[in-house]
Every structure is written in structure tokens, then in C-alpha cells.
Structure 1
Amino acid sequence: MKKLTKIIGIAFLSLTIFSCSSDSDSQPTIVDIASGNSDFSTLVTALNRTGLTATLDGSGQFTVFAPTNTAFQNFFATLGPSVTVENVDVDVLKKVLLNHVIGSEIKSSAIPESTYVSTLSPFSTATNAPTISMFVQKSGNTVTINGGSSNGGTTVTTADLDASNGVIHVVGNVIAIPTIKNHAIANPNFSTLTSLLVAQGLVPTLDGTEGSPFTVFAPINTAFDTATLALYGSLDSTNKTAVLLYHVVGGVNVRSNAIPAGNITTLQGQTFSITGTSIDDAGSTVNKNIILTDVQCSNGIVHAIDKVLLPNLN
């Protein structure tokens, strides 16, 4: 009787495993879902042109923010009147596509109010280059990427198309590769800094490639307390620019695991030093701390800090 019970148990276990395996095998992959939806025909063509079809049709788990045909048409129109999925530079297309892919499955229910995730789009062509960051926000059932369409981002229109190797979230716009400016605007915690950069005419610097890559130590809103804003407001325009540029290091993309020892020279010309997560600036004795690291942009990287850095001012 014990032997018979054991045999029945093994048989039941085998049947269960077979059944689960069959369910998994029958579930469509990300590519299967895209190929079966006529509104993703441009996406499927783009995946084929860039050699990414095999990746998103294989094993592993991915989250794909999938632009519709209309979204791609609008994107290609910004590149030129005759640009299509068939003739756009394939390297540009691949980088843009990878900017829509996360290397793990993230259902909409698992998205917090705001978070950074890493896409699969490389920052550069260097071996093992870091990948571009994505800022994801959720308010109610609305999921916004990189600050929305007005900032080169997008909004999810349909969430949670479940696949055997991940999930698809349909989006209404192609997501542009974000610059430092885009990431600063996207995150409401940088709104004070962004407004000051706009007032001093420095936004084009952090949106371009001249002098890039940049490493920016960006104060969050609470860093600009009453005393700091009063001090900043008392400065002339030249010194205001000096304070802001003191937060920017030019010509390097310094990730948190590679911050050098010793003095770091800023675009303003003076230096500061970092020990662990603590910053020693030139103009004060108050501790400044790095509280968020490695927001990777197309033209550099952002680390958030909890207080404003001050150079020695005239």
C-alpha cells in the first residue's frame, strides 16, 4: 500500500510538472505578442533590423515599454521628412529600442510612486559601458516615464501584457535617450535646481554634448533651505553661475564606484573632495552627503546630494 501511494504521488508530481511546463510553453513570448498585434508592426520590423528579435523571443525576463506604430511615425518625423524604420541609422535605432527595455519583469502593480531603473541601452560603445537610466513614476493607475512626452518621455497607455519571458507595457511615444537636463526636469526633487539653472542660462550646457560627459552633483529641493536661498539670492549673477557650475565636473562620467581620491576640479574652477559619501567643499564646513547615485544620462551622470556645495566666492 505504501509503495502504491508512493507511485501515485510520483505520478501526480510528474503530471503537475508536465502541466506547468505545457502552460509555460504555450504562453507567448514578448515577440509573439508584438508579432500578433498589427499596431506593433513597426516595432517588429525595428527588432528584426537591429537583431534584437532573438533576445526578446528567448529566455530571461524583460519589461518592454512598447511604442505603437503611430508613436514610431511621430518619432521618425522628428529625424527628417523621409526617415522610416527601414532607412533610419540602425545603430541609432538599436540604442533607442534598448532604451525601452528593462532586464527584469516589472508589473505595473510593483511600480512604486517613483523609482530609477536601468535600461539595456549603453551609454557608450565601450566594453561593459553603463546603461541609460529611466525615471518611472506612478500616480494612481497612471505610469509616466522620464517626465512624460513633453520631456522626451511617455505615458503607459496599456499595462501588463503578460508574456512567458516578461511583460509589455504599451506607450504612446518613443522614449528619447535622456540628457542630464531631461532627468533633472523629470524628477520633481530637482525642481529648485532646475529653475536656478534656467535663470542662469545653464540648461543648454547640460542638454548638449560640448564638454561632455558631465558628472553632476545635484542638490535636491530640501538642500535649498531658507538660509541657503537667502545667501544665493544675495549673490550677483556671476557668483550665482559660479555656485551652480561648482556642482559640475566636466569631461568625465564618474560612477559612484570610481570616484577618485583627492581633489576633484569642477567647471567653476575650484575643487572639492569626496570621502565615502561625504563631500568636503571649499566654501563651508557643513557636511554634504551623496544620497542617490548613478543616474546615467546620454551626456553624463547625476548623483543627488542633500546640501548645496559652495566654492570660495569673491
Structure 2
Amino acid sequence: MKKLILSFTAITLLLFAQRVKAQDIVDVAASVDDFSTLVTAVKAAGLVDALKGEGPLTVFAPVNSGFAKIDANTLNSLLEPANKEKLGAILTYHVVAGKLVAKDVAKALKSGKGKATLTTLNGGTLTAVSKNGGIYLKDANGNYSKITKTDVMASNGVIHIIEDVVMPK
């Protein structure tokens, strides 16, 4: 009887697991309160479908406090439909094609003597830099954003959490 119950439980769990769809990058971001500004921006820029796509993608996702460092008038202006293209360029500057997990970035930093250049979806570059005991992204303007959490997995890639919004030229 115990074997029958155990078998039934295992089959039920297997069937349930097959029905649960893995969350994509947008779903993961939407499930985290500290990404609410990012999710609003992704929607305003019309990038939801792109970030729900097959991938794989690596997203360096700024938290709400990072967006709060941007002047409120500037941020509100970026969220307007007239600035959809500019907002899209900023957001795609946070995305790299392929799935780069933390160990990949660490390996690139080691082979690059503490630096690794990443090409973003908007065609710009970010430089991953090892400094002050952490890993930072240096944007095209020379500003740094610390990577605070790595390897938040999604069905179509990976998210690394950063403290600040990085900006293209």
C-alpha cells in the first residue's frame, strides 16, 4: 500500500511539474516588488515581447532605488510615448545576448585582468570591472553600478541585479 501511495504521489508531482511553466525574464521581474519601475519602463518602451522571447538573454536589472537616482522629471519624460525609442535604447543597454551566469563573468574578468567588455543589444558596450571586492558595470559615460545579486534564473535567460541605471552615450 505504501508503494502505491508513493507511486501515486510521484506521478502527481511529475504531472504538476510539467504543467507549471517556467517564468521568463518579464515574469520574474514582475514578481519582484523592487523591479516595479523597471517593469513599468519595459512596458512603456514596448519591450515586453522581446524580453519574453526565446533568448537566451542576460539582463542587468536596476532596482527601484537605482531609477530613483534619475531626476523625476527626466524619468517621467522617458516614460512618455514620445520618448519610447530613447527609453528602449536605455533599456536594451542593460541586455546582452546569450546567457552569462556569474561564473562566466568571473572567468572573463580573470582572463581580462579584472575587466570584461560586454556588447549590449543596443550596440553599446558595458565593461564589467572587479573592484572594491565586488563586480561593477561601467557604462559608456564612466559611471559604475554594483552588481548586488547574480544568477536569478528565468526560462529564457538570467537576471543580475544592479544598484543603478547604466546609461549609453
After TM superposition, give the deviation of residue 177 of structure 1 in Å: 1.1
Q: For 1:130-153, what per-residue CA distance to the aligned partner results, in whole angstroms no more than 9, with x for missing partners? A: xxxxxxxxxxxxxxxxxxxxxxxx
1:4 is matched with none
Who is 2:112 aligned against?
Answer: none
Q: Check conservation: 1:179, 1:298, Cα contact below 8 A.
A: yes
Report Cα offsets for 1:72-106 as digits up to 9, x if no partner.
4xxxxxxxxxxxxxxxxxxxxxxx45xxxxxxxxx
Aligned-residue Cα RMSD (Å) equals 2.4
Q: Report the CA distance between 1:229 and its aligned residue.
A: 4.1
Counterpart of 1:280 in structure 2 is 138
Render the CA deviation track for 1:143-188: whole Å, top value 9, x for unaligned: xxxxxxxxxxxxxxxxxxxxxxxxxxxxxxx532111111111111
Contact 2:95-2:120 at 8 Å conserved across structures: yes
Matches within 5 A, 1:1-314: 35-36=4-5, 41=8, 44-45=10-11, 66=13, 72=16, 96=17, 174-209=19-54, 212-225=55-68, 227-235=70-78, 236-250=83-97, 252-259=98-105, 260=108, 261-276=115-130, 277-283=135-141, 285-312=142-169
Structure with higher Rg: it is 1
**CA shift digits 1:242-288 (9 cap, x unpaired):** 001100001x11011111343211011110101121111013x4321
Which structure 2 segments of 5+ residues have no match? 109-114
Bigger relative CO (Cα 8 Å, ≥ 6 apart): 2
Q: Percent identity?
A: 31
Q: Deviating runs (4+, > 6 A) in structure 1? A: none
Which amino acid in structure 2 is aligned with residue 221 of structure 1? N
What TM-score, normalized to structure 1? Answer: 0.44
2:118 partner letter: I
Q: 2: distance between equivalents of 1:229 and 1:307?
A: 15
Q: What is the distance in 1 between the residues matched to 2:148 and 2:34?
A: 12
Query: What is the alpha-carbon distance in structure 1 between the residues aligned to residue 57 and residue 163 of structure 2?
Result: 19
Size of the aligned set, in residue pairs, is 152
- With over 3 angstroms needed to count, the CA separation of the structure-2 counterparts of 1:225 and 1:258, relative to structure 1, is same
Conservation of the 8 A alpha-carbon contact between 1:219 and 1:308: yes
Give the structure with the larger helix fraction.
2
Q: Distance in 1 between matches of 2:35 and 2:68?
A: 14
| Structure 1 Cα separation of the partners of residues 70 and 26 of structure 2 | 26
